[in-house]
Homo-oligomer: A and B are copies of this chain.
């Protein structure tokens, strides 16, 4: 029978994405059966990370140092800024290994429904970075908008394009098209027509 301490643990675990009340209970039990090998190390790793991690004041990334490792890395191209919605998107791009510039995390998208306006996002900071690049020797020459292909994501992209119109910087966005490994039969019409319009010589 779960007691107060255990109930509290289950309740906290159930707030993790991907764990509902039932799977949180299963996870708690799993941990309680592995107190030495998993529960204590996890508690240690959590409290260590909670104490060490901070928001990068330049780009909004999460890291144990500020500015973050990416902003401090001199081998990365400081003339390229890739704008993403969330830190998770930044991680995804880093995993792809396809980008060697800097990032800027907005902290979400504009959203009429959720009442999120430009002042809630890190947009002024982006414009500031473009106009007077901090920590960079080279000026910013291109801003890549890597935002979701959703209504809110594209609204935000349009807004950013307008805001950056008077800056001396190129603004680009990710290509739309057929995902690698994707079968045409399963693709939605919007993606198919975007891929057709953006067709490239073979």
Q: A3-B64, A88-B26 are in contact. Are A50 and B46 (CB under 8 A)?
A: no
Contact B38 A49 (CB under 8 A): no
Assembled-state Cα–Cα distance A29/B17 (Å): 10
Neighbour of A42 across the interface among B6, B12, B29, CB < 8 A? B12
* A142: Cβ under 8 A from any B Cβ: no
CB distance from A40 to the nearest CB of B (A): 5
- A18–B29 touching, CB < 8 Å: no
- Cβ of A50: which chain B residues have Cβ within 8 Å of it? 31, 35, 39-40, 43
The chain B residue with its CB closest to the CB of A16 is B27
Cα A18 to Cα B90 in complex, Å, equals 25
The residues of A with any CB-CB pair to B shorter than 8 Å are 1-3, 5-6, 8-9, 12-13, 15-19, 23, 25-27, 29-33, 35, 38-50, 52-53, 61-64, 69-70, 86-88, 90-91, 94
Q: From B5, B46, B90, B91, give the contact of A64 (CB < 8 A).
A: B5
Residues of chain B within 8 A of A69, CB atoms compared: 1, 3
Q: Which of B6, B16, B25, B48 meets A31, CB within 8 Å?
A: B16
Which residues does chain B contribute within 8 Å of A62, judged by CB atoms? Answer: 29, 32-33
